[in-house]
Amino acid sequence: MKAAPFDYLLAQDLDEALSMIDEHGPDAKLIAGGQSLVPMMAMRLARPQWLVDINRLAELKHIELTQEHALIGAGVRQRDLELHAQLHQHVPLLKDALAWVGHLQTRNRGTIGGSLVYADPSAELPLSALILNAKIHLQSKASGARAVEAEDFFLGPMFTAIADNECLHSIEWPIWSGPHIGVAFEETSIRKGDFAMASAACQIQLEPSGVIKRVSFGVGGVDGTPRVFPQLAMQMVGQKFTDLAMQDIAHAAIQTCDPSSDMHASSAYRKHLAQVLLCRVTQQAAQMALGHASSSQH
């Protein structure tokens, strides 16, 4: 299929882009990398009357690192993040997650903001944002700037808290401080580069004795949004990490998920797969935190 007819607008700066979407409202869509929007337009799942091109906006392409957070502009290419060595040291989970995103060709064009805005339940970056409780910074012409926690941003399949007249400006990724931090990300898909049937991710900080100081973990592809489990994570803090205890936690977590069945996998299979992956990533992250192994690689 081909996209429905539309008019094209090229924004010269962020203020102009905000004016354009404020004027055209829900009939306008912002486009930067286009790796999510263009396929949806081709299948006529999205039919914007106006495309506002923000690809050239320098205001959306910054990467700023402090001791407490990494502030990444929404227009930064996924591949640029993948190659940013200093960022990997501060937010290592992003490196692991990006290795699973699509193909090299899509990461060359796709932006970090686009992946978050289109919020596919199986996408890797929304799950990472929830694991780290990232803060999403939005801007509009009418209301100015506002920030939304990741847990409040993802509302349903491809449905977020962003308004029609808002642009995702940047994402604030918290940086965990201190030693003995481990991360891992894994997923299973029909083919390499496809969206995951299920995925799992974990970031953990341990005492040298193996006692859990801090942990966050979650799964994707098994509900309308990626899922994290802060209450279960809190139960683990102060306890020594063991594979057996994690199996019980993973089982409890996955029982709260309600995946659908489709031509690729049944609901029961997705739950089983997610539980296996969740056990695996927490084990890998714990091993990395204690220096026994490196994080999982694509």
Confidence label for 185 from pLDDT (cuts 50, 70 and 90): very high
Q: In the chain, which ranges are continuous DSSP H helix?
A: 14-24, 37-42, 78-82, 85-90, 92-98, 104-109, 112-118, 124-132, 150-153, 230-236, 243-254, 267-289
- d(CA 24, CA 296) in angstroms, rounded, equals 44
For residue range 206-217, what is the model confidence (pLDDT) as tens digits? 999 999 999 999
For residue range 238-258, what is the model confidence (pLDDT) as tens digits? 999 999 999 999 999 999 998
Q: Is the pLDDT confidence value at 32 over 50?
A: yes
More confident position, 62 or 264: 62
CA distances from 94 to 8, 126, 129, 238, 256 (A): 33, 11, 9, 26, 26
Confidence label for 59 from pLDDT (cuts 50, 70 and 90): very high
For residue range 96-120, what is the model confidence (pLDDT) as tens digits? 999 999 889 999 999 999 999 999 9
The number of CA neighbours under 13 Å toward the Cβ of 159 is: 6
Q: Is the pLDDT confidence value at 295 over 90?
A: no
Where does residue 211 fall: left (phi above 0), alpha (psi -120 to 50 degrees), or beta otherwise? beta
Q: What is the mean pLDDT of residues 122-130?
A: 96
Domains and CATH numbers, the chain: 7-53 (3.30.43.10), 58-174 (3.30.465.10), 181-289 (3.30.390.50)
User: Model pTM?
Assistant: 0.93
